[in-house]
Chains A and B, each alone.
Chain A
Amino acid sequence: MPSKAFNLIKSQKALVVLALLFVAMCFASPYFLTASNLINILVQCSINGIMAFGMTFAIIGGEFDLSIGSTMALCGLVSVMLQPYLSIPMVLLLVVAVGGVVGLLNGFLIAHQKANAFIITIASGMLVKGIALTISDGSPVIGSNAAYSTIANGTILGIPHAVTLFFLLLIVAQWVLTRTAFGRNLYAVGGDATVAAYAGIKVRFYKWSIFVITAVTAALGGILLSSKLNTGSPIHGDSVPLTVISSVVIGGTALSGGEGSALRTVVGLLIFSVLDSALNLLNIYPYYQLGLKGLLVIVIVGFDCYARNRKKAVA
């Protein structure tokens, strides 16, 4: 009986960490368990979360995308800057298209030309950020259309749209991963691309799709953030890629590919968001927050790696 419980804890490490954090915070601060704080946590979570779902697809498929921060910033900027000239639906369409173009570029180089994803997405991130900096001349741009900020901030039944969109995407992502051929084949491609190719799965198509998905979710993230703040800025996405990847990994999706799920990513996201809220409520100097996040990444990835290697050694 005890070993069964132990195994359950081991397989749901992230959930346990989240539960512990949550309980600890409830005791640590009276403001934690309030509706407004919890909604705040969710909103915080949602914007990163939408991009984290895209990244989940990428990591399951055996790749990852470091350019999403820049894409997010660019799309947020473009959407704010186009507001005076076009209707909002047109703007949104164009912005998503911009994301799509970035995704197609990344996909071409990585899936078609087989270049190294890590470096290529760093480079394309640099390029996209350069474009963002150039068109904004380095400064944030304020939105001119009042209706725009309702995209993220408007509420249905008291729940901000951003959060609603997050849950919608969660359902879509989880459904695609578990119930469609696309999802199943994606796991295969990430698990072993050679075997998948042998079975007739079009690996290149799947790898290409990964980058389009990450870029489009980055575009959505950019729209939501710039809508929430009613401002677009070239530096919005700076710490995003690694925060997002860390959330996915902490949630339990392995970097080696072939496994994981959107639900696990949600756990990872919540861990980061609860931590952020906790550090704010406890008035911990923001620099300590930064350091703590870094430490968390080291500890969790390190522990995961260690456990994985121990299992390998015993086998």
Chain B
Amino acid sequence: MEPVLSIRGVSKMFPGVKALNNIDLTIESGEIHGIVGENGAGKSTLMKILSGVYKKDTGIIFMSGTEVDIKSPVHSQTLGISIIYQEFNLVDTLSAAENIFLGRTGEAGGRKRMNDRAGALLESIECGVDPRRRIADLSMSEKQMVEIAKALSFDSKIIIMDEPTTTLTGKETEKLFAIIRRLREKGVTILYISHKLDEIMELCDRVSVMRDGQLLGTMAATNLDRGEMIAMMVGRAMDMEYPRRESTAGDLLMQVDHLSTGKLQDISFGLRKGEILGLVGLVGSGRTELARAIFGADPVHTGTIAINGKGVRIRSPIHAIKAGVALVTENRKEQGLVLDFSVARNITMASLKKFSSAFVMQSGPEKKDVADYIDKLAIKTPSPLSKILNLSGGNQQKCVIARWLETEPLILILDEPTRGVDVGAKYEIYLIMKDIVERGGSILMISSELPEVLSMSDRVLVMRDGRISGEFDPRQTSREEIMANAIG
């Protein structure tokens, strides 16, 4: 049987960068094919060529034996390729049905027929969402279902999924996997892009590894070895994904007692000096809310926080910074970075008082500190004055961390510190974390990647439904045990 997709010699150049270099890839019909690689490896460029957003420079693409020239997103959909982006491609103000048939209202028939057809598509993937509901009112998982239904409405032969589980809970991920397997039974081919190697290993029939615009190889599921995959992705054998570290935990630094907000219920825990405290839980369990409450980003809460024995009143970020607390938020693009500004301005913006005397900014000390941090944290940027927009995700994240280190905090809260960061930069960030606690700082680390939390933390707290449901020693506990506690 002809492979459903055959890519031969495809290359793509952008100004100054060869994004794809002579890619040869064969996808068999009805397989779940994983694609892994660091950020910048070329995965997203390849997918955008398949979905008609970019045009390839060279090479040929065959679908089921016939050569195709994919001209536009709409064209790729009519050819049978659908792509589900990480941020979803939906119009919030319209209903699910209207989104499924976006731009095809003629085909869809009248409003009633459109709703009926949409309902049928959703039911075929066991999704009970009313097709007339607005996208803005749906959960992330439900939105994803709408995207899948949209793909099915085109009778897609190939569905590309880009990091589909980033915002899903464990249960929702299982549901998604079940749907994907059922789609495979129906003969649909899935291209599954993900950073989460465990999911890849669980779900995929074959996996292709990309690095620096090249396809390094394709392996069958039975031959998958995690270490080997990482080595191929990174280009060197990583003996350790995580730096080895002795525990440096000391006396109690911060004590939180009976913290409650709308979502949080009676949270109490302690954080020690020189400790990395991990915080895990399903999406929606309240981890980010806890971080924001401690940091004063959300002002309303009851309960007490004491640092070094003294009670502190934190009702705004200003109080928090003064008390020695810092927060690296989970979405740097919206809440962390001022994208149009330079690296230097982004780094100094939380400690303006430090660089000013009597309201006047002192550029000398500012420049020096910025240069220091760029050096210390190995931030790759052409110059401190470059727009931070142009840096890679990993380097942007390092800038945010530098910004908070500038405030000389006692406690650094990291919310998903390595999200959207490639494997190489991840390691560098872990090293930075190690350095911070070895110098006596404390870190509260929120992460959805269990391996990361378990390897880096001295202690792990599990949250569930706004409460702390358990405390574990990561060296003595298995991932399954922690997951079980998180699910409840």
Residue of A nearest to B110 (CB): A179
Which chain A residues numbered 169 to 220 have a C-beta less than 8 Å away from chain B? 181, 184-185, 187-188, 190-192, 195-196, 198-201
Q: Which residues of B contact A191 (CB under 8 A)?
A: 91-94
* C-alpha gap A19/B193 in the complex (Å): 55
Q: Are the CB atoms of A185 and B105 closer together than 8 Å? A: yes
* C-alpha gap A184/B91 in the complex (Å): 12
Q: Which residues of B contact A190 (CB under 8 A)?
A: 93
Q: Does A258 sit at the interface, judged by CB under 8 A?
A: yes
Q: Which residues of B contact A181 (CB under 8 A)?
A: 105-106
Known A-B contacts A184-B98, A198-B73, A200-B74; A192 and B92 likewise in contact (beta carbons under 8 Å): yes
Q: Are the CB atoms of B103 and A201 closer together than 8 Å? A: yes
- Which of B93, B102, B105 interacts with A259 by CB under 8 Å? B93
- Which of A192, A200, A259 interacts with B72 by CB under 8 Å? A200
* C-alpha gap A198/B102 in the complex (Å): 10
Q: Are the CB atoms of B91 and A195 closer together than 8 Å? A: yes
Give chain A nearest CB distance to B250 CB in angstroms.
38
Q: Does B89 sit at the interface, judged by CB under 8 A?
A: yes
**Residue with the greatest number of chain B CB neighbours at <10 A, chosen from A184, A187, A257:** A184
Q: Which residues of B contact A201 (CB under 8 A)?
A: 102-103
Question: Interface size of B by Cβ–Cβ distance < 8 Å?
Answer: 15
Residue of A nearest to B136 (CB): A315
* C-alpha gap A201/B72 in the complex (Å): 12
* C-alpha gap A196/B102 in the complex (Å): 7
Give chain A nearest CB distance to B77 CB in angstroms.
8
Give chain B nearest CB distance to A175 CB in angstroms.
13
Q: Does B90 sit at the interface, judged by CB under 8 A?
A: yes
Q: Are the CB atoms of B94 and A258 closer together than 8 Å? A: yes
Q: Are the CB atoms of A188 and B98 closer together than 8 Å? A: yes
Q: Are the CB atoms of B105 and A187 closer together than 8 Å? A: no
Question: Interface size of A by Cβ–Cβ distance < 8 Å?
Answer: 17
Q: How many A-B Cβ pairs are below 8 Å?
A: 51
**Residue with the greatest number of chain A CB neighbours at <10 A, chosen from B93, B105, B106:** B93
- Interface mask (B226-255 → A, CB under 8 Å = 1, otherwise 0): 000000000000000000000000000000
* C-alpha gap A251/B483 in the complex (Å): 50
Known A-B contacts A184-B98, A188-B98; A196 and B93 likewise in contact (beta carbons under 8 Å): no
Give chain B nearest CB distance to A78 CB in angstroms.
38
By secondary structure, the A interface counts as: helix
Q: Are the CB atoms of B105 and A184 closer together than 8 Å? A: yes
Known A-B contacts A199-B103, A201-B103; A188 and B94 likewise in contact (beta carbons under 8 Å): yes
Q: Are the CB atoms of B74 and A199 closer together than 8 Å? A: yes
Give chain A nearest CB distance to B131 CB in angstroms.
15
* C-alpha gap A201/B91 in the complex (Å): 13
Q: Which residues of B contact A258 (CB under 8 A)?
A: 91-94
* C-alpha gap A238/B91 in the complex (Å): 36
Q: Which residues of B contact A257 (CB under 8 A)?
A: 93
Give chain A nearest CB distance to B84 CB in angstroms.
12
Known A-B contacts A184-B98, A188-B98; A200 and B91 likewise in contact (beta carbons under 8 Å): no
* C-alpha gap A232/B213 in the complex (Å): 67
Q: Which residues of B contact A200 (CB under 8 A)?
A: 72-74, 103
**Residue with the greatest number of chain A CB neighbours at <10 A, chosen from B72, B74, B105:** B105
Q: Which residues of B contact A187 (CB under 8 A)?
A: 91, 93-94, 98
Residue of A nearest to B89 (CB): A195
Q: Which residues of A contact B103 (CB under 8 A)?
A: 185, 188, 196, 199-201
* C-alpha gap A200/B106 in the complex (Å): 13
Q: Are the CB atoms of A198 and B94 closer together than 8 Å? A: no
Q: Are the CB atoms of B90 and A195 closer together than 8 Å? A: yes
Q: Which residues of A contact B105 (CB under 8 A)?
A: 181, 184-185
Give chain B nearest CB distance to A200 CB in angstroms.
4
Which chain A residues numbered 274 to 298 have a C-beta less than 8 Å away from chain B? none
Q: Which residues of A contact B91 (CB under 8 A)?
A: 187-188, 191-192, 195-196, 258
* C-alpha gap A190/B98 in the complex (Å): 14
* C-alpha gap A257/B74 in the complex (Å): 24
* C-alpha gap A292/B257 in the complex (Å): 51
* C-alpha gap A292/B431 in the complex (Å): 63
* C-alpha gap A187/B102 in the complex (Å): 10
Known A-B contacts A200-B73, A200-B74; A195 and B93 likewise in contact (beta carbons under 8 Å): no
* C-alpha gap A259/B90 in the complex (Å): 15
- Interface mask (B89-117 → A, CB under 8 Å = 1, otherwise 0): 11111100010001111100000000000
Q: Which residues of B contact A184 (CB under 8 A)?
A: 98, 105
* C-alpha gap A258/B103 in the complex (Å): 14
Give chain A nearest CB distance to B117 CB in angstroms.
15
Q: Which residues of A contact B94 (CB under 8 A)?
A: 187-188, 191, 258
Which chain B residues numbered 25 to 78 have a C-beta less than 8 Å away from chain A? 72-74
Give chain B nearest CB distance to A29 CB in angstroms.
40
Residue of B nearest to A200 (CB): B74
Q: Are the CB atoms of B92 and A188 closer together than 8 Å? A: no
**Residue with the greatest number of chain B CB neighbours at <10 A, chosen from A181, A185, A198, A258:** A198
Q: Are the CB atoms of B102 and A195 closer together than 8 Å? A: yes
Residue of B nearest to A198 (CB): B73
Q: Which residues of B contact A199 (CB under 8 A)?
A: 73-74, 89, 102-104
Q: Which residues of A contact B89 (CB under 8 A)?
A: 195, 198-199
* C-alpha gap A192/B94 in the complex (Å): 10
* C-alpha gap A198/B94 in the complex (Å): 15
Which chain A residues numbered 244 to 259 have a C-beta less than 8 Å away from chain B? 257-259
* C-alpha gap A190/B93 in the complex (Å): 9
**Residue with the greatest number of chain B CB neighbours at <10 A, chosen from A185, A190, A195, A259:** A195
* C-alpha gap A187/B74 in the complex (Å): 19
Residue of A nearest to B94 (CB): A191
Residue of B nearest to A189 (CB): B91
* C-alpha gap A191/B102 in the complex (Å): 12
* C-alpha gap A35/B90 in the complex (Å): 49
Give chain B nearest CB distance to A304 CB in angstroms.
15
Q: Which residues of A contact B74 (CB under 8 A)?
A: 199-200
Residue of B nearest to A197 (CB): B73
* C-alpha gap A242/B98 in the complex (Å): 32
Supply 15 A–B pairs (Cβ within 8 Å), ascending by A.
A185-B103, A185-B105, A188-B102, A188-B103, A192-B90, A192-B91, A192-B92, A192-B93, A195-B89, A195-B90, A195-B102, A199-B73, A199-B104, A200-B72, A259-B93
**Interface of B toward A, CB cutoff 8 Å:** 72-74, 89-94, 98, 102-106
Across chains A and B, which 4 residue pairs bring their CB atoms closest together, nearest first? Answer: A258-B93, A200-B74, A191-B91, A199-B103
Known interface pairs A185-B105, A195-B91, A198-B89; 8 further A-B residue pairs with C-beta atoms within 8 A, sorted by A's residue number: A184-B105, A187-B93, A192-B90, A192-B92, A198-B73, A199-B89, A199-B104, A258-B92
